[in-house]
Amino acid sequence: MKRVMLSAMHSGSGKTVVTCGLLRAFQNRGLSAASFKCGPDYIDPMFHRRVLGLPSRNLDLFLQGETGVGRTLARQTAQVALIEGAMGFYDGVNGTHQASAWQLADTLDLPVVLILRPKGVSLTLAAQLQGVRAFRSPSHLVGVLLTDCKPMLYVHLRPILAQTGLKVLGYLPPMAEAEFESRHLGLVTPDEVADLQRRFDAIAAQLERTADLDRLLSLAAEGQGEELPPKPAPRCTIAVARDEAFCFRYPDSLEALETAGAELCFFSPMKDEPPAGVHGLYLCGGYPELYGKALSENNAMRTWIRQAVADGLPTVAECGGFLYLLQTMEDRDGNTWPMAGVLPGGSHPTGSLQRFGYLYLSGENDSLLFRAGEPVPAHEFHYWEAQPFGADLRAEKPSGRTWRCGYTSSTLYAGFPHLHLDGELPLARRFVEAAVRYKEG
């Protein structure tokens, strides 16, 4: 496998657009491709997946640890793998490089191509690049690719950037197909973008014309993949919410559940009848706040979930899934909708990020996923708030800030923080073991 990271000096540089265009270009060349996203982001990998028709996976040093990210990368056996960075190249936890794109490149020994959007700068851009190269050693930087760059500007900048010693690999000019809308959690989801495949094709064709893809591939590092172990025979069935409202989940988390002995049953809380014969429930995050009316109108589903959780069905409900378990949800238009009613209180929009970023969770007592005193890495990213939002766990950010949050029991985790079930702690196995106990009565 050839592996290369695409990073940038700041968010909004066009990393996702270039990543998707390159993935499609490599597909068009007959190469098998795999994609990854540095950090906890859910939406960018959705775009990767729409290009490839295969899951895109996260590589997150904070949530997975070095062993976890190495395992995730090694399991992919495609001919070329693109790893999309997050934020700026060195931007990590609490103003450090911890869990940054640079630390991931350093951990996995990945060459890095910076995606630059040049605006209002000329020779100073070369000076900035030199600073980025010198800030950590090794920097792992091997090249640059310009995006949203007009042809004449590229002709002007190319010899200037070549002074840095980095390979100047071409450019993507301004084009309507490369413009994607955003909302409060990032880009809109791929299902909301018209003519998405045509856009990918147009971006790929343009990159073939104005970027040196052969040279980019020559800069990639060689890596050895390994086959996944065979899945064991299922010992229980876990229902996993999957629709427009519940779309934030890590493929590795689902595979970890299967490896631990679960058979997964996917269902839509908006559209389906309650699933039958299940022994666990996974309500992942997403955009339930955009679908309050549809969720409330599926009364049979709300009633089933309320009763099943009360009866001890092992349940994990993260962020959007947590909001769904509350009594009510207020949408952005001020309408209030009844939810599943498992937990007290309701949720409402705030217009700003709430407790954004990485954190550790710990509890004083053992529960479904947690063991007393054990710190569990997690992350939050939400614009809706709940009152109350629980107090069974202690949350601590790397900055030292702490607060209480979440609801836990021997059969429940519900709260805003998202978890990765395939990190260094056996969270998936704990969930499956509880489902097996529930099945056996």
> 295 in helix, strand or coil?
helix
Peptide linkage before 40 cis (omega within 30 of 0): no
Q: In angstroms, rounded to a whole number, what is the distance separating the alpha carbons of residues 203 and 180?
A: 13
pTM comes to: 0.95
Per-domain residue ranges for the chain?
Answer: 2-222, 236-440
What are the E-state strand segments in 73-187? Answer: 80-84, 112-116, 141-147, 167-172, 182-183, 186-187
What is the CB-side half-sphere exposure of residue 338 using CA atoms within 13 A? 12
Q: Are 47 and 187 in contact (CB under 8 A)?
A: yes
Dihedral sign of CA atoms 360, 364, 366, 368 in order = negative
Residue (of 316, 336, 283) closest to 435 by Cα position: 316
What are the E-state strand segments in 122-234? Answer: 141-147, 167-172, 182-183, 186-187, 221-222
Torsion of CA 255, 259, 263, 266, to 10 degrees: -10
Q: In angstroms, rounded to a whole number, what is the distance separating the alpha carbons of residues 287 and 405?
A: 21
Residue type at 315 in one-letter notation: T
Q: Are 348 and 330 in contact (CB under 8 A)?
A: yes
What are the E-state strand segments in 243-356? Answer: 262-267, 280-283, 315-318, 328-330, 336-338, 346-349
Q: Are 246 and 325 in contact (CB under 8 A)?
A: no
Q: What is the pLDDT along the chain (441 residues), one digit of tens a residue?
A: 899 999 999 998 999 999 999 999 999 999 999 999 999 999 999 999 999 999 999 999 999 999 999 999 998 889 999 999 999 999 999 999 999 999 999 999 999 999 999 988 999 999 999 999 999 999 999 999 999 999 999 999 999 999 999 999 999 999 999 888 876 666 788 888 889 999 999 999 999 999 999 999 999 999 877 777 788 999 999 999 999 999 999 999 999 999 999 999 999 999 999 999 999 999 999 999 999 999 999 999 999 999 999 999 999 999 999 999 999 999 999 999 999 999 999 999 998 878 889 999 999 999 999 999 999 999 999 889 999 999 999 999 999 999 999 999 999 999 999 999 999 999 999 999 999 999 999
101's tokens: 């794109």
> 276 in helix, strand or coil?
coil
Task: Express each pLDDT in 83-112 by its tens digit.
Answer: 999 999 999 999 999 999 999 999 999 999
Burial class (CB in 10 A: 0-12, 13-18, 19+), 144: buried
Task: Express each pLDDT in 159-207 by its tens digit.
Answer: 999 999 999 999 999 999 988 887 666 678 888 888 999 999 999 999 9
96's tokens: 């450090």
Q: How far is CA 266 from the centre of its chain?
A: 19
Q: Assign residue 120 a region: left if phi > 0, alpha if psi is -120 to 50, beta otherwise?
A: left
Residue 415: strand pairing partners: 318
CATH topology of domain 2-222: Rossmann fold (3.40.50)
Residue (of 21, 37, 115, 113) closest to 76 by Cα position: 37
Q: Which residues are catalytic?
A: 319
Dihedral sign of CA atoms 277, 279, 285, 291 in order = positive
Q: In angstroms, rounded to a whole number, what is the distance separating the alpha carbons of residues 117 and 119?
A: 6
DSSP state of 390: B
- Pairing outcome for strands 182-183 and 186-187: antiparallel
Residue 221: strand pairing partners: 3
CATH class of 236-440: alpha beta
> Which H helix or E strand runs over 96?
none
> 24 in helix, strand or coil?
helix
Q: In angstroms, rounded to a whole number, what is the distance separating the alpha carbons of residues 153 and 349?
A: 43
In what side-by-side order are the strands of the sheet with 393-396? 376-380, 357-362, 393-396, 402-405
DSSP state of 94: G
- φ/ψ of residue 357, rounded to 5: 120, -170
Residue (of 309, 286, 256) closest to 431 by Cα position: 256
Q: In angstroms, rounded to a whole number, what is the distance separating the alpha carbons of residues 295 and 289?
A: 10
Domains 2-222 and 236-440 equal at CATH topology level: yes
The rounded radius of gyration (Å) of the Cα atoms in the chain is 22
Location of structure tokens 């969770």: 361
